[in-house]
Structure 1
Amino acid sequence: MQSAHETFQLGHFTVPRLWVGLWQLSSNAWGTASVPKIRQAMSRHVDAGYTAFADHYGSAELIFGQFRSSLEKPELVVGATKWCVFKPLTGPITRAAVEAAIRERIERMHATRVDLLQFHWQDYSNHDYITALEIMAQLRDEGLIANVGLCNFDALRTEEICVRFPGLVVSNQVPFSLIDVRVLSALDSVCTKHGVKLLTYGTLCGGFLAEKWIGLPEPDPYAGSLNPSQRKYLDIITKAWGSWSLFQELLFVLRTISLRHEGTSVTNIATRWVLDHAVVGAVIVGVRLGCTEYPEDNLKVYGWTLSDEDRADIDRVLSQSAGRQLFQTIGDCGAEYR
């Protein structure tokens, strides 16, 4: 197994700074592959140093759990999953309900504990998320959870939780990219203060931050050629962030920078820009396992950083966008899901 070139400490684990995101297993809209092909793809990623996988959508937990349990040394691969409370509760949250949710995750992942449980709570007006975290702290102490993380929690609630439960939360999974910079408005300083690492998604905007889109006209979101992630990020790019023409300027600048860093791609530059923020632990790259994968190309982000000139060139384009206003127009991280 090839070791990752860059790692960081996440609670009990030393993990790579690139993770495999499994949300594309939730729907055939991203493309389909047989389970054996998906497992083979997982094996290729592990061999290349991708030793952390994340997300619970669709059959992700089941397939990942079966794959990891088949490894000679399964303890070398970390699995992050989620417990998402979307629906309004019919009553106060209980220890039995929380424990049942965690044990379901454990069973589906063929594990003895959850390596990283990422907690999402839909309705901030219901403060039972505090009770849920208090119970999760107990379950962590009892060995059912190794580490507790948050998912799409904003700066205000992250601060509240970290003050209430010092040292409990190790991460917060949130969107962060050259297009969506909302974490820089407040969440980055909160997480830095409390030692919480960001695990970022949407960093490649559904694959739009890539050479293949340079010089192409704005795609039709209703033509059927875009996957769900691309339709989501196209809307953000053209309606909230700026325009397709400004996005083309950004792609051109990223390609110019990639030529300065021999062997890198537009995707590498976009990923490196996020990784260069100290609060970021890892970028979670959504992968269509068995369909479209770029494990070797993505590894080219390791071992270097962007120069002052690179960042200045990028900033000149970003300053023409409404990226810094997304915090007001969309809301803090996760607001778009509430």
Structure 2
Amino acid sequence: MTTDAHETFKLGEFTVPRLWTGLWQLSSNAWGAAPLSKIRQAMGRHVESGYTAFGRHGAYLTTSGTWLLTAVDPTRALRLITTAGQFRSSLESPESVFGATKYCVFKPTVMSPETVEAAVRQRIERMRTERVDLLQACLFHWQDYSNPDYITAIDILSQLKAQGLITTIGLCNFDAVHTDEICSRFPNTIVSNQIPFSVVDTRALYALAQVCTKHGIKLLTYGTLCGGFLADKWIGEPEPEPYSGSLNPSQRKYLDLIVKAWGTWALFQELLILLRSIGDRHNGVSVSNVATRWVLDHPAVGAVIVGARLGCSEYTSDNLKVYGLVLTSQDRAEIEEVLARSASRQLIETIGDCGAEYR
């Protein structure tokens, strides 16, 4: 195992790292929060360590046209986006940091060129750049796929890309059927799809990974560490009480996934112990390292987005150990043996394809 080289991949015209820093946990104090000054300092530490790709919260557009930066704390989210833009513009080489933002539409109505362009220009202003690197063209909470407005929105975004306002366009939480539809209608337009994927949640392997390979787009995965449950600290711990106050919103979500849909807490403990033993074979890397590497090893995956509470809870050095970690066929076979005793492969039926849980 070596850790001297950071792994990269091509995303449109960019070469970007395979580990991204997700900032959604900074959008509300419910996860725990640091002052904006400490968050900015933490961004600097991440960049110095080689984390040069950040995924940021964007804005969500309701039918009334009201901008809601999060459902929890819109004021804080706006300040965070502004802080991120200020940090990037302060760098000697701002272009060395890749920033991804989202454009989500709730309860969609008829999309217009004016509405979509306004959303793009808002992000350009807040990111303090001339164009948006990756506008996640995700109609994130699209209530009914039979409403064709997502096609209209992608069409408008592709026109803005041709005008130079957007460099690359991605999707977020689109399932296999609709990813295939969009990529077929707009060839060579979409570069990515941001979806949940972990050693627990393997729905992406049902059909979406094949669709992405077919169209040459990459998966950007989140939830890869199940809100932090795929970590050494949970080995030997009793099943937590969801509303005891000890879990944050993300952990409550993934606890439900683990014990209500995937399997039992006892089986999850078996998985953690196995990942720990695999890590011991590879110079003692962490459970989180092994879980992340397992996802990265799937050909359709471009990057794993690791959520961080900058200034509060960061695992910068540990996460970098993923680079250079090479799982063996024995490692993968042993992981598959545990998964075969779970409901991992049935999640596509019980929950639905990727993103179904948000609709």
Give the TM-score normalised by structure 1.
0.97
Among residues 227, 237, 243, which one is paired with 2:258 in the alignment? 237
Residue 145 of structure 1 corresponds to 166
Report which stretch shifted further, 61-70 or 150-159: 61-70
Tell me the matched-pair count: 335
Match of 1:27 in 2: 28
Check conservation: 2:232, 2:288, Cα contact below 8 A.
yes
Asked if the contact 1:204–1:267 (Cα under 8 Å) also holds between the matched residues in 2, the reply is: yes
1:184 is aligned to: 205
Aligned to 1:294: 315
Mapped contact 2:108–2:149 kept (Cα < 8 A) = no
**What is the aligned counterpart of 1:196 among 200, 217, 224?**
217
Distance in structure 2 (CA, Å) of the matches to 1:23 and 1:8:
23
Deviations 1:53-80 (A, max 9, x none): 0021523422211110110100000000
Give the corresponding residue for 1:11.
12
> Is 1:70 aligned to 2:71, yes or no?
no
The superposition leaves residues 119-138 of structure 1 with CA deviations (integer Å, 9 ceiling, x where unpaired) of 22213121011111111111
Contact 2:133–2:166 (Cα < 8 Å) also in 1: yes
Q: Offset at 1:87?
A: 2.3
CA contact (8 A) 1:3 1:48 kept: no
The match for 1:258 is 279
Native 8 Å contact 1:4 1:50 kept in 2: no
- The 2-side partners of 1:225 and 1:143 are apart by 46
- The residue identity in structure 2 corresponding to 1:47 is E
Q: Secondary structure at the match of 2:321?
A: helix
Specify the code of the residue in structure 2 equivalent to 1:270. Answer: A
Tell me how far apart the structure 2 counterparts of residues 169 and 274 of structure 1 sit (CA, whole Å): 21
User: Could you tell me how far 1:263 is from its partner in structure 2?
Assistant: 3.6
Counterpart of 1:221 (choices 242, 246, 250) is: 242
CA distance in 1, matches of 2:243, 2:180: 40
Structure 1: 4+ residue segments shifted above 6 A: none
Written as runs of structure 1 = structure 2, the 5 A alignment for 1:1-338 is 5-56=6-57, 58-59=77-78, 60-89=80-109, 92-121=110-139, 122-123=142-143, 124-338=145-359
1:113-154 CA-to-partner distances (Å, cap 9, x unmatched) read: 100011222131210111111111110011110000000000
- Tell me the secondary structure at the aligned position of residue 283 of structure 1: strand
| Unmatched tracts of structure 2, length 5 or more | 59-76
Structure 2 CA distance for aligned equivalents of residues 230 and 131 of structure 1: 35
* Counterparts of 1:305 and 1:148, CA distance in 2: 31
> After superposition, what is the alpha-carbon deviation per residue over 1:179-232, rounded to whole angstroms, capped at 9, x for unaligned?
100000000000000001000000000000000000000000010110111000
Could you tell which deviates more after superposition, 169-178 or 56-65?
56-65
Q: How far did 1:3 drift?
A: 8.7
Alpha-carbon distance between aligned partners in 1 of 2:269 and 2:92, rounded to the nearest angstrom: 46
Distance in 1, Cα, partners of 2:23 & 2:119? 20
Q: Structure 1 28/4 Cα, relative in aligned 2: closer, same or farther at 3 Å?
A: farther
Sequence identity, in percent? 68
In the TM superposition, what is the alpha-carbon distance from 1:112 to its structure 2 partner? 1.0
Q: What CA distance in whole angstroms lies between the structure 2 residues aligned with 1:6 and 1:13?
A: 14
The separation in 2 between residues aligned to 1:292 and 1:132, in whole angstroms, is 37
Cα distance in 2 for partners of 1:14, 1:178 equals 26
Could you say what the CA RMSD is over the residues aligned between the two structures, in angstroms?
1.2
